[in-house]
Amino acid sequence: SYKFWQTQPVPRFGEEGQLEEGPLRAQTVADVPKEPAPLVDGFEWVTMDLTNDDEIKEVYELLNGHYVEDDEAMFRFNYSPSILRWSMMPPGWKKEYHVGVRAIQSRKLVAFISAIPVNLRVRNKHVICSEVNFLSIHKKLRGKRLTPVLIKEITRRSNLNEIWQGLYTAGIVLPKPVSTCRYYHRALNWQKLYEVGFSPLPPNSKPQYQVRKYALPKSTATKGLRAMVEKDLDAVMDLYKRYTARYDMVPDYSREEAYHWFVPKIEPSGEQVVWTYVVEENGKITDFFSFFSIESSVIGNAKHNVIKVAYMFYYGSEVGIREPSDKPALKLRLNELIHDALILAKRFKFDVFNALSLMDNALFLEQQKFGGGDGQLHYYLFNYRLNPISGGVDRKNQL
């Protein structure tokens, strides 16, 4: 019955038809409490310092033990400290948006919620949002209505900075999704995915047939393909902007943000978080694609502890700018690019490549041997009404 969510400025189920788009509730900073709401006895609010190695380790350990699992509790996200920093410390990040709850006696971190600022374009309007992520509560404190308290606190801290809108995704249905996407998975290391229980052996198949089905060449095929470097930033940004102009909801990155999200770097830990490739023809950048890395812990498997998962991020191609997304030339081009992305991800020892049913992904998912997963991802806006955006699947969850 959404006891909490029905008190919040979000659209309700049952609102049908074209409605006027925009904020639902208007407030000023004077309306916003200057102090957090009290927590139940024995717990206190803390602001986590993610620049501090000990504190990021505490956030890492909370998430490693208690963050998102699949429905069968076989896998759980294992965001590394480096990817947590990349995700929560983009340009404009604020320490006060890294909100924790500690048990007063033991000092143990038992809950967390975070936000980053994002300038979102929704259709032809710009909305400054807090993008909320990494909400997690220790398993022993579940079902105690701590979530609404955390959400109200991140809302309060956003509001004090005059941010009135939120952007978030969740696997569960809440009032009310702007868009719903399906997860797709492309095996890179089928044998390992089979051993951990991620990929089933289809009836009448044999392991060696599956391994052969997902085999990839050693080398990429696109002429002029190379890793992105900093000097490509303006060209990639320009391509990103023009290519994504066809979509209804897209972050409008500043140059600093595009540098943060796209330029591949080796983090102080020695890890790499994001991989971006460009195609250069006669000195001009004509295409780019990117993917990032999140491991998942394998729960209770004797042979493997983690699977390495690459996630499709943004891409763009001059071909798609020249023609609408249903034309065959773009399909051909995206298949060439994504096939190379798979080859590269395999080279970097990823076990599986994930993508959602959004952007122009429907043009390559089947041909590149992605299979539809059980998981869905719902996109939400807080304090904003937007008419629904297609997430690329129909009611039967088909592309």
φ and ψ at 137, to 5 degrees?
-130, 135
Query: Given candidates 5, 45, 247, 259, which one binds ligand YNC under the rule CB under 6 A?
Result: 5
Query: Given candidates 145, 231, 303, 395, which one binds ligand YNC under the rule CB under 6 A?
Result: 145
Strands (E), the chain: 43-47, 75-78, 98-103, 109-122, 125-137, 165-170, 179-187, 225-227, 249-251, 274-281, 284-298, 306-317, 352-356, 371-382
Does 137 sit near ligand YNC (CB under 6 A)? Answer: yes
Q: Which is nearer to ligand YNC, 166 or 177 (CB)?
A: 166
Does 313 sit near ligand YNC (CB under 6 A)? Answer: no
Place of tokens 């990117």: 290
Q: Which is nearer to ligand YNC, 167 or 307 (CB)?
A: 167
Cβ neighbours around 335 below 10 Å, total: 14
Q: Which is nearer to ligand YNC, 2 or 194 (CB)?
A: 2
Site for ligand YNC in 96-135 (CB under 6 A): 130, 132-135
Instruction: Give Cα 82 distance to the centre of its chain.
Output: 15
Assign 378 to helix, strand or coil.
strand
Q: Which is nearer to ligand YNC, 130 or 180 (CB)?
A: 130
Assign 77 to helix, strand or coil.
strand
Minimum CB–partner distance for residue 385 and ligand YNC (Å)? 14
Strands (E), 188-273: 225-227, 249-251
Number of residues that bind ligand YNC (CB under 6 A): 35
Query: Given candidates 66, 94, 331, 346, which one binds ligand YNC under the rule CB under 6 A?
Result: 66
Does 376 sit near ligand YNC (CB under 6 A)? Answer: no
What is the pairing mode between strands 249-251 and 109-122?
antiparallel
Does 178 sit near ligand YNC (CB under 6 A)? Answer: no
Minimum CB–partner distance for residue 393 and ligand YNC (Å)? 20
Where is 61: in which H helix or E strand? Answer: helix 53-66
Q: Contact residues for ligand YNC (CB under 6 A)?
A: 2-5, 66-68, 130, 132-137, 142-148, 151, 154-155, 158-159, 163-166, 168, 170, 172, 174, 382
